[in-house]
């Protein structure tokens, strides 16, 4: 029972009820419950009835599991609670008090056998069924059971060992507590003790386990205890609803008597029913004599006149209806009499009073009312009459069908004449009294001391709901005669619990305990009709005595989902499946594939993995003991190959006694009274009472059972089924650790070869690998013997057949195979072609196959090198004498030399980045290219196909067909040189090792962070790279710690700083990779929070060097192609410098770093690095001063060469400061200087050259960023870390100055006044106000209504400059944003109540719609992700100010919102977050699949938490 520590993870989702889903686990596994996205952030409690260690299991006793959150509290992605599964059984879990979700887990038992108590795995089981009554006296059992041992089985299933009822059916028990007296020879009384000793002896000496049936549904009709305790059955006292059905049943019995006595002969109905005219006569008798006489409808009707009289009396007394009782529902309905007396029903007088109201109190008015009621009651009676008529029609059909099957059908029992012993139809109720007339019988119904003994028989109902008890009120099965009845058994009535029928529950519990004491397992007979709560209770009792109880059942629910209800609730270990259910060999092969094992070549699964639903473990039998004999349905020659197909299944397998001896008829559970034959190795073939190894197919079965057990115990857990032709099925069992296989080729014979022409042409087979031996070749042959004659005392088989068998021979010695040549022996292939000579119908050959020696050796060497990742690879590993040096170092050691920029190459790089290096991402023909050139490209696909073992996926196909993918991975890394070329890769472990090494190079926040934090931090590796061509202009040569590399083309060393892509795949390479705004919105999250401080410093200084006009470029274009057309990038850059100073140890040192100025003046040509250097603090001051002075210029090269859509006015750039308010303002209505920068492109819709969102004036986030910078500069100056305290400007020939403190104060004083949209009646533009209680999006826009639009920009100002806001106003504005703008992943960019709102972005749309054409609505509704970060951070900040309750609610909201981002990242093959989504989180095909600022903003929220 040794296996690696296994952990399964169950993800809980709100409202997910999985009680019809099967989860099977082994003992020793750990089960972890984790929160799915719908539950993250919620206070969830997981309850389970799995007991704490040392406690007894109690089904209804639940406990709450404690949460473990290994990474603290920023999110719930890693929070889990756990169960160590050590006890087998079925256990329930649910979460939250309302049980908003839950299900069951089934823990498999561990079976032990032999004196040494070794484990018998469930897949090793080979079981054989015995009808116990055919075993004879107990002292002869071992001689008969020895046949099972000698045929190689390791488990026996006994039908019940208890006293049988008078029908002698194996399943009709007279006494559940007493051993069948037939087992005691004369003068001897055996007890359960002797049975126990025998079972123990077989376990220890024969390595054989025993199970037996438990029958909970019924008891024999002649059970003595049911006569003393009639309350244990359904009788007319405790189940009066059965009275009408009982009346019909008695009437039918009297019809039987009349037919048997010849009374209906003159009406064309003799005792011997032989044709359809006789059936027609039966229908006539029912409709003319029976139904009119017994008047069943009277049980369901009301007596009209007494009801009318009662109503009249009420009206005369002035009674009024009580509306509270009828709730205004005036429907007058018949109320069924619970005692089911004729005309015993009533109606609700309250409803009558409400329905029929007199027009006055005069006698005439009252009489009218009574007449109305009378008419309505007669109508209701009429409805009841028609319903009973429908029941009678169904009853007539069912009776006719039964008679037709039992007396006319060729495949039926042909019962012969109607007699009292063989009645017309089986009685539905017991009648333990003397014969009398029908009238006298019916009088007994009203005598409780007698009617309590009229007990309903059990049976089954075709197509019924197995979860419904057909004998309970509400079911009409008995009156409609739909029950296929077992007339020897009484259905037991348990009620809802032991208190409803104490004797029955106690009696059956004792029965269960006797069984569990002596047998390792039970078969639940008639499981689908056993009330679930009863079976649960009994199995709990059994497991108390025997914790590792093996439970098997056969279910006939017709649906896997319904099967699962029984399997999960009862903890069924194996479900019985039958090869006989297959109509042809193809279907038989499919069953093998369905019920056992993984597919051959399945992925190696990690020990910690998601818990996936499974199908019930199968006990796959060639035939069950209560089914027809295969020899009669197929042919004697099919017994062996079908058995072989079954034996090759990776599950429990078995048979029934008699199959192997070729008994040519069904051994009936009811009528068979002969004994099984005994084992005698010396017996002659014609001896009916004895069998030998040569009898029937026993020798073949021995070899097959041995093979079955060997395959299961040695890890051959992968299965492949190949339908070679219509009769030949080849089943492969493969062992993934040794790479060995066994292939069994079985030629079925569903039709007898003597009468059916089978082809001599057997298609050759190609078997990949080297055939080591023929494990067995076996076929059914005829031999000299007497023809079969059914013996009177012993159950005997057909003596004229045996098997010819050879085991463990070389291929050259095979009689079945003509030749075996090697067809291909290429680099990857070693295939042997088998040509068959004598694969006759009924024969089987099995080959043991291994890899060819060279491949086997290489696999061993590979396993040796993989031991560093998983010790399981030790098995089958071989030391490598020629280990290259590189493989002598552990992968971790090699990877630890790699930088995060190296990791970007190893793991990521999209197609555009790869193409820049002259390559591209790997393309899978007939599918699509991978998302990344690095490992993540492969792992994203494998993450989907691995858990499902989707081996038909094009990715797997590509791997099977050649080494191209492996070569691609290796050549790509070798071409990069350096450490990357040294990597030896096993994909998954290289990936996990790379992750470990990556996170070790990041901040402690990431290292100790949750899975979600780490996933987001990986975005930093994804986005930050060193390209083939430098994307950033060079830094000052005077700066230390700058990375350099040697350029092979120029033969010079060059700087190789990491640059940040804006998004993949559209903004990843070339001139469009780096954008000032995107870089600095994302830099805090992706570089500072993750601890990449030096690279962040270099990016800040690079952009500082490109400053011109006091602005930072929007599109960087390596500096020389920069465009200075945005007003906000410089403020995001300043914010990042502030963040760098506050977050990085000694961060303020950056202020003294040299910046090499590419454009020291506005009009200078680009200068080389080091020509003009300045300190960063001087560049910062310049930016501030230029804004105060006023920036006004026209873009260089203005015109279509730099922007094809812009109108001429749009190239005029303005950015200034309002001296009164301190607000930065700028732009015009023909350009868009903030992040909402969509320029119209459609001439047809007339929006070309018009910005959709100019946001000119003072944009709210720029005012906030400016205020944040001023506050920081004032504080820095006070600390002596910034040399300037004011800005100086020249205006009208004068020099003016303003201190940073004064500028800061002006914004503080004016912001709330100018930006808050209050309820102030003096509002300047009341006609433009659309929402109050929000902050404007801008102030002073050229189109004033734009100021008042609700957009997601003001939360940015709240995060960077919270001091500008009053807490109450801020909170109200955030709540309005939440209600109106918050989407699943992003924030709507415009209020959905706005007239131009449109949430679906389609950049390719060309139509006449001004607001939509060519994606004009880019920022007019679609939900962008990065603003959600600022919204949530603002919520967190202000919630803290509002007290603990508000803060806790907010944390809940934040976790809940972010859980969707976590799920998106988990599922995304890009492992990123998109730029935007369409409305309500729908996928937008025009969005970048992963965007730097989206990842950064979400990571910052988790950092704030």
Task: Write out the catalytic residue numbers.
Answer: 525, 528, 626
Torsion of CA 636, 638, 644, 645, to 10 degrees: -150
666 CB-near residues (< 8 Å, 6+ apart)? 627, 628, 629, 632
Closest CA to 284 of 266, 262, 267, 259: 267
Which residues, listed in sequence order, are joined to residue 1299 by a DSSP beta bridge? 1286
Q: Whole-angstrom Cα distance, residue 1215 to residue 155?
A: 89
Residues 1437/1271, Cβ–Cβ less than 8 Å: no
Q: Whole-angstrom Cα distance, residue 271 to residue 273?
A: 6
Q: What are the φ/ψ torsions at residue 1288 (nearest 5 degrees)? A: -120, 135
Q: Which string of DSSP letters, residue by residue, matches 675-711?
A: EEPEE-TT--TT-TTEE-TTSTTHHHHHHHHHHHHHH
Q: Whole-angstrom Cα distance, residue 485 to residue 1357?
A: 79
Q: Encode burial over 919-933: b for 16+ CB neighbours within 10 A, e otherwise.
A: bbbbebeeeeebbbb
Q: Which string of DSSP letters, residue by residue, matches 1057-1113?
A: --EE-SEETTBSSGGGS-BHHHHHHHHIIIIITTT-HHHHHHHHHHHHHT-BTTB--
Q: Whole-angstrom Cα distance, residue 225 to residue 174?
A: 9
State the DSSP code for 790. -
Residues 867/737, Cβ–Cβ less than 8 Å: no
Residues 719/600, Cβ–Cβ less than 8 Å: yes
Q: Whole-angstrom Cα distance, residue 1170 to residue 1038?
A: 7
CA 840, chain centre distance (Å): 45
2 CB-near residues (< 8 Å, 6+ apart)? none
Residues 604/108, Cβ–Cβ less than 8 Å: no
For CA atoms 36, 37, 41, 44, the dihedral sign is: negative
Q: What are the φ/ψ torsions at residue 1023 (nearest 5 degrees)? A: -90, -25
3-state secondary structure (DSSP) of residue 438: helix
**CB burial of residue 213 (10 Å; 0-12, 13-18, 19+):** buried
Residues 1493/1477, Cβ–Cβ less than 8 Å: no
Q: Whole-angstrom Cα distance, residue 1405 to residue 407?
A: 75
223 CB-near residues (< 8 Å, 6+ apart)? 165, 173, 174, 175, 490
In angstroms, the first-to-last Cα distance of the chain is: 45
Report how many helices (DSSP H) and strands (DSSP E) the chain contains, helices first.
42, 61
Q: What is the chain's Cα-based Rg?
A: 43
CA 350, chain centre distance (Å): 52
Which residues, listed in sequence order, are joined to residue 821 by a DSSP beta bridge? 833
Copy the structure tokens of residue 472: 């309970």
Q: What are the φ/ψ torsions at residue 1206 (nearest 5 degrees)? A: -65, 140
Residues 176/165, Cβ–Cβ less than 8 Å: no
Torsion of CA 1194, 1195, 1200, 1205, to 10 degrees: -80
Mark out the alpha helices in 274-362 (DSSP H runs): 276-285, 291-294, 304-316, 323-326, 349-355
For residue 1481, is it left (φ>0), alpha (ψ between -120 and 50) or beta?
left
Q: Whole-angstrom Cα distance, residue 1298 to residue 200?
A: 101
């Amino acid at each position: 029972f040794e296996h690696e520590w296994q952990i399964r993870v169950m993800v809980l989702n709100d409202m997910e009820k999985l009680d019809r889903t099967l989860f099977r686990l082994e003992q020793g596994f750990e089960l972890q419950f984790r929160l799915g996205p719908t539950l993250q952030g919620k206070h969830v409690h997981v309850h389970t009835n799995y007991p704490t260690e040392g406690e007894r299991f109690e089904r209804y006793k639940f406990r709450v599991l404690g949460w473990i959150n290994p990474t603290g509290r920023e999110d719930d992605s890693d929070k889990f609670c756990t169960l160590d599964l050590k006890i087998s059984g079925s256990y329930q879990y649910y979460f939250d008090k309302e049980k908003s979700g839950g299900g069951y887990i089934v823990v498999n038992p561990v079976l032990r056998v032999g004196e040494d108590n070794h484990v018998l795995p469930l897949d090793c089981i080979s079981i054989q069924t015995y009808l116990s009554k055919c075993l004879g006296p107990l002292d002869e059992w071992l001689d008969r059971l020895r046949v099972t041992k000698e045929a190689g089985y390791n488990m026996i299933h006994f039908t019940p060992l208890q006293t049988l009822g008078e029908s002698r059916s194996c399943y009709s028990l007279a006494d559940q507590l007493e051993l069948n007296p037939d087992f005691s020879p004369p003068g001897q009384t055996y007890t359960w003790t002797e049975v126990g000793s025998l079972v123990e002896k077989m376990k220890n000496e024969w390595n054989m386990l025993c199970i037996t049936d438990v029958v909970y549904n019924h008891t024999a009709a002649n059970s003595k205890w049911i006569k003393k305790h009639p309350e244990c059955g359904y009788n007319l006292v405790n189940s009066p609803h059965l009275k009408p059905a009982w009346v019909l049943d008695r009437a039918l019995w009297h019809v039987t008597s009349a037919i048997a006595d010849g009374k209906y002969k003159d009406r064309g109905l003799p005792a011997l029913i032989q044709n359809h005219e006789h059936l027609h006569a039966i229908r006539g008798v029912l409709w003319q004599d029976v139904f009119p006489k017994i008047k069943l409808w009277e049980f369901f009707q009301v007596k009209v006149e007494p009801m009318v009289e009662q109503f009249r009396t009420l009206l005369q007394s002035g009674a009024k209806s009580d509306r509270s009782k009828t709730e205004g529902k005036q429907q007058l309905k018949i109320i069924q009499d619970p005692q089911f007396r004729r005309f015993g029903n009533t109606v609700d007088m309250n409803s009558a009073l409400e329905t029929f109201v007199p027009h006055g109190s005069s006698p005439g008015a009252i009489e009218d009312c009574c007449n109305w009621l009378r008419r309505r009651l007669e109508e209701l009676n009429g409805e009841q009459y028609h319903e009973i008529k429908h029941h009678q029609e169904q009853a007539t059909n069912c009776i006719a069908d039964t008679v037709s099957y039992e007396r006319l059908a060729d495949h039926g029992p042909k019962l012969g004449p109607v007699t009292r012993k063989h009645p017309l139809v089986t009685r539905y109720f017991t009648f333990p009294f003397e014969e009398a007339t029908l009238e006298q019988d019916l009088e007994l119904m009203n005598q409780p001391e007698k009617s309590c003994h009229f007990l309903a028989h059990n049976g089954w109902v075709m197509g019924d709901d197995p979860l419904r008890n057909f004998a309970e009120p509400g079911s009409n099965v008995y009156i409609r005669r739909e029950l296929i009845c077992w007339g020897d058994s009484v259905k037991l009535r348990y009620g809802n619990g032991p208190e409803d029928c104490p004797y029955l529950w106690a009696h059956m519990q004792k029965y269960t305990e006797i069984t569990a004491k002596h047998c390792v397992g039970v078969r639940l007979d008639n499981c689908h009709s056993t009330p679930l709560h009863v079976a649960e209770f009994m199995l709990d009792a059994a497991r108390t005595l025997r914790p590792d109880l093996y439970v098997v059942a056969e279910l006939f629910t017709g649906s896997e989902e319904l099967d699962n209800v029984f399997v999960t609730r009862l903890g069924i270990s194996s479900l019985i499946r039958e090869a006989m259910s297959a109509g042809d060999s193809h279907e038989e092969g499919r069953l093998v594939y369905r019920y056992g094992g993984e597919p051959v070549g399945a992925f190696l699964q990690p020990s910690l993995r998601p818990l996936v639903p499974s199908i019930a473990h199968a006990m796959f039998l060639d035939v069950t003991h209560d089914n027809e004999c295969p020899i009669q349905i197929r042919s004697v020659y099919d017994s062996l190959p079908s058995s072989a197909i079954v034996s090759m299944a990776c599950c429990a397998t078995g048979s029934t006694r008699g199959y192997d001896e070729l008994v040519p008829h069904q051994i009936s559970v009811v009528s068979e009274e002969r004994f099984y034959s005994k084992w005698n190795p010396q017996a002659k073939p014609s001896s009916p009472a004895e069998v030998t190894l040569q009898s029937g197919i026993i020798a073949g079965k021995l070899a097959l059972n041995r093979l079955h057990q060997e395959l299961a115990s040695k890890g051959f857990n992968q299965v492949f089924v190949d339908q070679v032709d219509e009769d030949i099925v080849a089943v492969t069992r493969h062992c993934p650790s040794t790479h060995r296989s066994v292939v069994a080729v079985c030629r079925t014979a569903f039709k007898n070869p003597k009468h059916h022409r089978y082809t001599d042409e057997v298609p050759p087979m190609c078997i990949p690998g080297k055939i080591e031996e023929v494990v067995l070749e076996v076929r059914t042959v005829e031999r000299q013997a007497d023809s079969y004659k059914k013996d009177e005392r012993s159950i005997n088989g057909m003596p004229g057949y045996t098997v010819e068998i050879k085991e463990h021979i070389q291929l050259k010695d095979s009689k079945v195979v003509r030749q075996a040549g090697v067809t291909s022996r290429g680099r990857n292939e070693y295939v042997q072609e088998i040509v068959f000579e004598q694969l006759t119908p009924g024969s089987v050959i099995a080959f043991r196959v291994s890899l060819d020696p060279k491949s086997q050796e290489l696999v061993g060497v590979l396993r040796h090198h993989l031991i560093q990742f998983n010790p399981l690879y030790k098995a089958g590993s071989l030391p490598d004498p020629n280990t290259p040096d590189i493989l002598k170092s552990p992968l971790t050691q090699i990877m630890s030399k790699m930088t995060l920029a190296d990791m970007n190459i190893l793991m990521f790089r999209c197609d555009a980045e790869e193409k820049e290096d002259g390559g591209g991402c790997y393309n899978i023909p007939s599918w699509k290219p991978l998302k990344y050139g690095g490992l993540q490209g492969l792992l994203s696909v494998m993450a989907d196909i691995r858990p499902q073992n989707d081996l038909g996926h094009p990715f797997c196909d590509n791997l099977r067909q050649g080494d191209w993918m492996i070569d691609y991975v290796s050549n790509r890394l070798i071409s990069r040189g350096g450490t990357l070329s040294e990597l030896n890769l096993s994909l998954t472990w290289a990936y996990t090792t790379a992750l470990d090494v990556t996170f070790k190079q990041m901040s402690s926040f990431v290292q100790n962070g949750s899975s979600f934090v780490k996933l987001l931090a990986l975005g930093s590796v994804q986005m930050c790279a060193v390209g083939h061509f430098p994307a950033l202009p060079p830094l000052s040569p005077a700066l230390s710690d700058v990375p350099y590399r040697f350029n092979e083309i120029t033969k010079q060393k060059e700087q190789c700083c990491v640059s940040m892509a804006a998004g993949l795949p559209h903004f990843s390479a070339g001139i469009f990779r780096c954008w000032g705004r995107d870089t600095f919105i994302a830099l805090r999250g992706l570089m500072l929070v993750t601890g990449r401080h030096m690279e962040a410093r270099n990016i800040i200084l690079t952009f500082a060097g490109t400053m011109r006009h006091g602005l930072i470029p929007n599109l960087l274009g390596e500096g020389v192609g920069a465009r200075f057309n945005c007003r906000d990038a410089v403020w995001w850059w300043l914010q990042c410098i502030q963040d760098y100073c506050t977050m990085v140890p000694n961060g303020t040192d950056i202020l003294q770093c040299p910046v090499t100025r590419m454009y020291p003046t506005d009009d200078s040509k680009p200068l080389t690095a080091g020509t003009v250097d300045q300190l960063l603090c001087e560049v910062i001051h310049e930016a501030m001063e230029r804004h105060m002075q006023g920036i006004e210029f026209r873009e260089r090269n203005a015109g279509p060469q730099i922007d094809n859509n812009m109108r001429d006015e749009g190239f005029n750039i303005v950015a200034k400061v309002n001296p009164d308010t301190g607000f930065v303002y700028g732009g015009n209505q023909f350009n868009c200087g903030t992040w909402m920068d969509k320029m119209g492109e459609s001439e047809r819709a007339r929006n070309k050259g018009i910005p959709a969102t100019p946001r000119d004036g003072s944009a709210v986030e720029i005012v906030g960023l400016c205020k944040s910078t001023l506050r920081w500069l004032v504080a820095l100056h006070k600390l002596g870390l910034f040399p300037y305290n004011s800005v100086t400007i020249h205006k009208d020939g004068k020099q003016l100055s303003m201190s940073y403190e004064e500028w800061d104060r002006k914004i503080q004083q004016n912001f709330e006044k100018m930006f808050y949209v209050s309820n102030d009646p003096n509002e300047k533009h009341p006609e433009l106000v659309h929402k109050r209680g929000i902050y404007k999006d801008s102030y002073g826009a050229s189109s004033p209504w734009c100021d008042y639009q609700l957009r997601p920009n003001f939360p940015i100002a709240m995060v960077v400059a919270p001091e500008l806001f009053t807490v109450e106003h801020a909170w109200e504005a955030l709540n309005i944003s939440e209600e109106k703008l918050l989407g699943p992943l992003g924030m709507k960019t415009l209020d959905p109540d706005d007239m131009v709102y449109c949430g679906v972005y389609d950049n390719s749309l060309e139509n006449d719609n001004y607001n939509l054409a060519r994606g004009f609505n880019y920022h007019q509704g679609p939900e962008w992700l990065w603003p959600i970060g600022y919204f949530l951070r603002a919520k967190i900040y202000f919630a803290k100010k509002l007290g603990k309750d508000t803060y806790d609610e907010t944390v809940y909201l934040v976790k809940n919102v972010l859980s969707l981002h976590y799920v998106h990242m988990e599922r995304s093959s890009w492992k990123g977050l998109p730029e935007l989504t369409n409305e309500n989180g729908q996928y937008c095909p025009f969005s970048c699949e992963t965007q730097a600022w989206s990842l950064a903003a979400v990571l910052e929220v988790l950092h704030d938490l």
